[in-house]
């Protein structure tokens, strides 16, 4: 497997923590060799730039190499058979790749190596990419070579985060749904008490620190999406860690333990378009294939019903290698990248399956576990092909209420309900396609918005809840009648007049608040309109009324309203015409 190459960014004294720099990680190898140690020859040193560093391997076994041109070092750490490397201490380590129930350790340098190894190592941080290749390591170790009287102690860091406690790391920063991920919090050795792991504001677990100052949480229950994770130790909070959880309708992931020949101890995930995933076969024998050109890896999963049967939703136990299954035996075979099993045992569960009218596979969702060639270490995982993953969120309801305010605005309230906790998230208020505003829910699951200046009339307003990690989106609506800003209309006219002679009627319209009303006013003699409506200027208008009949006339002026102002009618003024 090809490893990544970097040049160490920072010179570091062996026993001194590096100073904080602009970079967010550090790479170096620092060692102290006691007299009698064959590998280090009794010397001490720290390899930094321009030393070239390379990391290769998986969570089954990882190697960090350092090459100065005249001196080279290889540090290999291996998990016990049936496990994966994770944060923590490994005591009684033996020579890597020959180890069994204990951890494996091997430090070699410039042509010098050990036949036998005794030692221990502690991993403070370890992370892998989606293909399962280790990308970051922070570890310390002590090795005794061939029962010598001297030991070799070293610190090895490759793209390791600076330790500004507490620090939070992830074993796989990008996974697919149901794929386990291990979160590790690190603080100063000897720290008492525990740590709480958070996803945004929600606690997702807690742990206790070991003597090295590390605590772990392994979970496969993070919901699909982007998570902002952090660890809290007392009043101290780590930097935020972004954890991606994908839920594509087509994907494959697996986790392999040390000692499993197929996966070589890696945890990996593949999704289109970076990997091509196809399915073929029938409900009797189905095959899912993965081709990942970017990682030079390919994988094949075969699941088969017992001869004469078809795969149904449910669990199948006692599976053997698919091509050699006998009566009543289900078949299974996970292989790839040049590795396959001669014999195997295992089990699998068909979560969903669909075929076309011709019987060809069109959709498949399978979880599996396989033991290759009598190994005690298993490889397990899940393959999805054209499946729609069930949304883990529960339904929500959104209720919208509203009412007009005295100044012509509308006060809206959206109330979101659902689940067992107080809903979180945002509500966007709209009228048709027009967005009026977006507001976060408060501690009671409500969002409030005051909308000024809506035109007078009836309005249908909606509130769209965007959903959260636990709740599905929902919408509500309400209808609000906006009467407009209240107005007052008054008139001023002489109390007497003569027929045939124009009499001016002054009309004034005032608003309860805001700017002066615009629009027009209509003069009435009793119930009959007089002439045409007059346009207001600065809230005023003058209408010339020419009476044509003697007697008492009851005059009123009616303001016809505007988009912002309500209608109003003046009091009656009686004019005697002779």
pLDDT digits (tens, 9 = 90+) for 184-213: 999 888 777 789 999 988 999 999 988 888
pLDDT at 354: 93
pLDDT at 391: 66
C-beta separation of 240 from 228 below 8 A: yes
CATH superfamily placement of domain 487-577: Immunoglobulins (2.60.40.10)
7 or 410, which is more confident?
410
For the chain, give the percent of residues with pLDDT over 70.
Answer: 95
As a whole number, mean pLDDT of residues 63-84 equals 95
As a whole number, mean pLDDT of residues 248-267 equals 93
Which of 168-177, 185-194, 398-407, 514-523 has the least mean pLDDT?
185-194
**In terms of DSSP bridges, do strands 44-47 and 496-497 run parallel, antiparallel, or are they unpaired?**
unpaired
| Contacts of range 218-225, beta carbons closer than 8 Å, 24 or more positions apart | 218/180, 218/181, 218/182, 218/183, 219/180, 219/181, 219/183, 220/178, 220/179, 220/180, 220/181, 222/175, 222/181, 223/177, 223/392, 223/393, 223/469, 223/470, 224/177, 224/389, 224/392, 225/469
pLDDT category of residue 264 using cuts at 50, 70 and 90:
very high
Task: Please state which of the four CATH numbers 2.60.40.10, 3.30.70.980, 3.40.630.30, 3.40.50.740 is assigned to the domain occupying 167-246.
Answer: 2.60.40.10
Which of 44-53, 178-187, 188-197, 523-532 has the least mean pLDDT?
188-197
CATH, range 397-482: 2.60.40.10
pLDDT at 16: 32
Does residue 13 surpass a pLDDT of 80? no
Please spell the DSSP secondary structure of 501-540, one letter per residue: S-EEEEEEEEESSSSPP-SEEEEEETTEEEEEEEEPBTTE
As a whole number, mean pLDDT of residues 414-441 equals 94
Does residue 340 surpass a pLDDT of 60? yes
pLDDT at 420: 85
Does residue 450 surpass a pLDDT of 80? yes
- In this structure, what are the phi and psi dihedrals at residue 9, rounded to the nearest 5 degrees? -85, -10
Does residue 5 surpass a pLDDT of 80? no
| Contacts of range 112-117, beta carbons closer than 8 Å, 24 or more positions apart | 112/38, 112/39, 112/41, 113/39, 114/38, 114/39, 114/143, 114/145, 114/146, 115/146, 116/145, 116/146, 116/147, 117/93, 117/143, 117/144, 117/145
pLDDT at 230: 94
Q: What is the mean pLDDT of the chain?
A: 90
For the chain, give the percent of residues with pLDDT over 90.
Answer: 77
pLDDT at 486: 85
Per residue in 453-485, pLDDT (tens digit) is 788 889 999 999 999 988 999 999 999 998 878
487-577 and 397-482 share a CATH fold: yes
By three-state DSSP, how is residue 322 classified?
A: helix
pLDDT at 9: 29
pLDDT category of residue 389 using cuts at 50, 70 and 90:
low
pLDDT at 11: 27
Per residue in 122-134, pLDDT (tens digit) is 999 999 999 999 9
Give the whole-angstrom CA distance, residue 386 versus residue 362.
7
What is the domain partition of the chain in residue ranges? 4-161, 167-246, 251-385, 397-482, 487-577
Lookup: tokens for 10: 């920072």
């Amino acid at each position: 497997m090809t490893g990544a190459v970097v040049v160490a960014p920072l010179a570091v004294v062996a026993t001194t923590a590096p100073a904080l720099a602009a970079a967010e990680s550090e790479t170096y190898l620092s060692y102290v060799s006691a007299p009698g140690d064959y590998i280090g020859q009794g010397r001490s040193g720290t390899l930094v730039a321009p030393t070239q560093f390379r990391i290769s391997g998986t969570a089954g076994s990882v190697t960090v190499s350092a090459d100065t041109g005249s001196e080279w070092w290889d540090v290999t750490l291996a998990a016990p058979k049936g496990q994966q490397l994770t944060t923590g201490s490994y005591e009684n380590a033996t020579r890597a790749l020959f180890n069994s129930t204990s951890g494996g350790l091997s430090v070699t340098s410039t042509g010098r190596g050990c036949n036998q190894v005794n030692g221990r190592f502690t991993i403070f941080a370890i992370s892998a990419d989606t293909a399962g290749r280790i990308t970051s390591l922070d570890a310390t170790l002590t090795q005794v070579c061939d029962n010598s009287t001297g030991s070799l102690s070293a610190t090895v860091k490759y793209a390791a985060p600076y330790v500004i406690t507490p620090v939070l790391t992830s074993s796989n920063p990008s996974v697919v749904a149901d794929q386990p991920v291990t979160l590790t919090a690190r603080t100063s050795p000897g720290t008492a008490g525990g740590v709480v792991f958070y996803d945004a504001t929600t606690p997702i677990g807690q742990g206790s620190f070991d003597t090295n100052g590390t605590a772990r949480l392994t979970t496969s229950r993070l919901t699909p999406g982007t998570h902002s994770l952090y660890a809290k130790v007392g009043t101290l909070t780590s930097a935020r860690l972004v954890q991606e959880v994908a839920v594509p309708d087509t994907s494959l992931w697996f986790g392999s333990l040390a000692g499993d020949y197929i996966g070589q101890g890696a945890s990996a995930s593949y999704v289109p378009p970076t990997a091509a995933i196809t399915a073929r076969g029938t409900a009797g024998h189905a095959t899912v294939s993965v081709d990942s050109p970017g990682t030079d890896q390919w994988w094949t999963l075969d699941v088969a019903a017992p001869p004469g049967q078809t795969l149904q939703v449910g669990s199948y136990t006692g599976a053997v290698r698919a091509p050699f299954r006998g009566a009543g035996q289900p078949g299974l075979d996970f292989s790839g990248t040049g590795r396959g099993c001669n014999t195997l045992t295992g089990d699998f569960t068909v979560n969903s399956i669909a075929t076309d009218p011709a019987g060809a596979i069109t959709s498949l969702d399978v979880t599996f576990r396989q033991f290759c060639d009598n190994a005690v270490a298993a490889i397990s995982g899940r393959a999805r092909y054209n499946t729609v993953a069930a949304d883990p969120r529960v339904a929500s309801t959104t209720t919208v209420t509203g009412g007009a305010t005295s100044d012509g605005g509308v006060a809206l309230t959206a109330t979101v309900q659902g689940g067992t906790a107080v809903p979180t998230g945002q509500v966007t208020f709209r009228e048709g396609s027009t967005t009026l505003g977006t507001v976060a829910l408060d501690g009671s699951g409500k969002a409030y918005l005051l909308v000024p200046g809506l035109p007078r009339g009836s309005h249908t307003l909606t509130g769209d809840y965007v959903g959260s990690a636990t709740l599905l989106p929902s919408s509500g609506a309400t209808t609000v009648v906006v009467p407009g800003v209240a107005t007052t209309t008054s008139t001023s006219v002489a109390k007497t007049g003569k027929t045939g002679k124009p009499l001016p009627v002054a009309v004034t319209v005032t608003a309860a608040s805001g700017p002066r009303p615009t629009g027009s006013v209509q003069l009435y003699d009793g119930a009959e309109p007089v002439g045409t409506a007059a346009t207001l200027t600065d809230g005023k208008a003058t209408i010339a009324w020419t009476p044509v009949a003697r007697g008492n006339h009851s005059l009123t002026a009616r303001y016809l309203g505007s988009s912002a102002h309500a209608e109003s009618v003046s009091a009656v003024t009686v004019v005697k015409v002779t």
